[in-house]
Amino acid sequence: SRVGIAQMEARAAARGLAVTGVVADMHAYDFPGDFDAIVMDSILHFEKQDQARELALLDQAKRHLKPGGLLFLFVHRTKRQEAILQGWLAELPAPYQLIEQRYIDYVYEEQTSGFRSQFQYCMAVVQRLERE
């Protein structure tokens, strides 16, 4: 969301980090270059007919990593989404390598309304070791 991207950019700027967030149609997005890091949050949750397009987006994202670059993937902790992610990770070609995978807790809080939600993500971090 635009709000989430703005919050992320503000937090990064406060830490002296150069971060550019993008809100776009993920199926039509054309990466404008190569990156040190790409973060993809809440992926692989669309309808079954969209699965091939989502996986194609992951393939495109990994190709736009600089050597040493990291692709951070976050999926909701469900059997279906984890199985899709595991299948994609199992097919990673060289020069890509899974360097971290674990569960993380996520807490969402809306200060104005007091709304609070907590769930878990499965996080995977893929690194590009060199150029293809």
Tell me if 23 is assigned to some domain. no
Give residue 93's pLDDT.
Answer: 94
Distances (CA, A) of 71 to 55, 100, 127: 14, 11, 6
Domain range spanning residue 48?
31-128
What pLDDT score does 99 carry?
97
Instruction: Give the pLDDT score at 52.
Output: 86
In a domain, 107, yes or no: yes
Q: Which among 129, 14, 2 is positioned nearest to 68, based on CA atoms?
A: 129
| Residue 52 in domain | yes
The Cα–Cα gap between 54 and 51 comes to 5
Give residue 89's pLDDT.
96
pLDDT tens string, the chain, 132 residues long: the values are: 788 788 889 999 999 998 888 888 877 888 888 999 999 888 887 667 778 888 989 999 999 999 999 999 999 999 999 999 999 999 999 999 999 999 999 888 888 898 988 989 999 999 999 866
pLDDT value of position 46:
66
Domain-embedded: residue 17: no
SS3 assignment, position 46: coil
Domains in the chain, number: 1
CATH number at residue 73: 3.40.50.150
